[in-house]
Structure 1
Amino acid sequence: MSQGNNIKVVARFRPQNSLEISEGGKPIIDIIEDHAVIIKNEESLGPFSFDRAFGMDTSQEVLYNYSVKQTLEDVFNGYNGTVFAYGQTGSGKTFTMMGSDIDDKKLKGITPRIVEGIFNTILESPPSVEYIVKVSYIEIYMEKVKDLLNPINDNLPLHEEKNRGVYVKGLMEIFVSSVDEVYDVMKQGGKSRVVAHTSITL
């Protein structure tokens, strides 16, 4: 069992997209023993060390099982859990977090897998335990917090209270009772996101 305070820092490298391939681009990343990364260029940067580095052929399932599955278990043991994806535009954050198709067993990303893990755990829990699941969906863009479920609220304030901690004031929360209901909320909120799509040929 995890102690609930573990932080994993991982790097994932997406495959080249069709434009990069057509223009003769070549990968310049070497992964050493699954945790160190060297950038092959004139400056020879690196190595950069991570808890784990995932190459271009890494499946969504392998990434989830190593990086996030334990965090979900920690949440049900009473700890807060956070998954933070960082990278420049076009680096593959959306593909990693959402996947190219949330209904596809192979291509769905981390977020759909977390949702399924939550409800599977609830179903396996004793009937005497009651859960309440609420979903909210925000985007932080140009230093503004936007409620993707109620896009008219595009500059919501952050607040902090002793009992509640840090929260977004005025954020819409939707009660859900199944994976499909969460997917519907995700699809609704996804229509309001600001994205720069990366075309990836798999």
Structure 2
Amino acid sequence: MVFVVSCTNLLSMGSESVKVVVRCRPLDDREKTLGCKMVLSMDVHRCQCFIENPGAVDEPPKQFTFDGTYYINQTTEQLYNEIAYSLIEGVTEGYNGTVFAYGQTGSGKSFTMQGVSEPATQKGVIPRAFEHIFESIQCAENTKFLVRASYLEIYNEEIRDLLGSNTKQKHELKEHPEHGVYVRDLTMHTVHSVGECERIMEQGWKNRVVACTLMNKDSSRSHSIFTIRLEICNTGKHSFI
């Protein structure tokens, strides 16, 4: 099960500042071999989850309500269009936005955020955001964009730059009185296309700390943050930013 939290400042557009979404993955081969059974069901129209206690058949299921629920037959494309699309639209208009995925090992965080190339409906949230951003840039008039990307991981309470020349080097977390919290000496890479973004993401992914677990032979052993920074300049004749 994956919890995705979307944060944005688009209050002026009538959307909530924080949305909490849950996604349920299907049983994997190991769980099927062990004879595990699904104890979670969803009412996706009411955004509700129901968890049964298999040891207490007479006990009513526990009920939880979220801003969005996605069951095993629903795609990342649906999740993106309904949850992340408006957030990325806000980013292209100058607002801050974050998609945060949380869950235990093997719950499907990487699958949701990074995804797979086939089928196309299961392409991850991050690659879809790349496409969305550059489509918006191509359609923008009288506007110039500078797009930069960074990728870091937090492992054993140490911050590492996954795109730096030395990925083992420890980086410090600092706070600026005007710009807020930042990571000192974190590299920012200018990108000009979806392809460049995907290559950077793949490069950083290869540098992450992974290890085998009972749930996943290539499980990530760290937290990671992929950031895209947009600088927008209005080039209209009588406009300035």
Alpha-carbon separation, structure 2, partners of 1:115 and 1:37: 31
Give me the identity figure in percent. Answer: 39
Please state whether the residue corresponding to 1:106 is helix, strand or coil: helix
Alignment partner for residue 38 of structure 1, among 34, 46, 50? 50
Gap regions ≥5 residues in structure 2: 1-11, 218-241
**Pair 1:65-2:84 in alignment:** no
Q: Gapped runs of 5+ residues in structure 1? A: none
Give the Cα separation in 2 of the matches to 1:153 and 1:76.
33
Corresponding residue number in structure 2 for 1:130: 144
Aligned-pair CA distance for 1:45:
5.6
Aligned to 1:139: 153
In 2, the alpha carbon distance for the partners of 1:72 and 1:3 equals 15
Aligned residue among 19, 24, 49 for 1:13: 24
* Alpha-carbon distance, 1:5 to partner: 5.5
SS at the partner of 2:190? Answer: strand
Structure-1 separation of matches of 2:216 and 2:116: 11
Counterpart of 1:29, as a letter, is L
- Whether 1:158 aligns to 2:173 is yes
Aligned partner of 1:110 in structure 2 is 125
Match of 1:168 in 2: 183
**TM-score normalised to the size of structure 1?**
0.89
Report what 1:92 is aligned to: 108
- Computing the radius of gyration from Cα coordinates, the structure with the larger value is 2
| SS of structure 1 residue aligned to 2:208 | coil
RMSD: 2.1
Q: Is the 8 A contact 2:167 2:207 kept in 1?
A: no
CA distance in 2, matches of 1:4, 1:132: 27
Aligned length: 197
CA 1:3 to 1:139, structure 2 compared with 1: closer, same or farther past 3 Å? farther
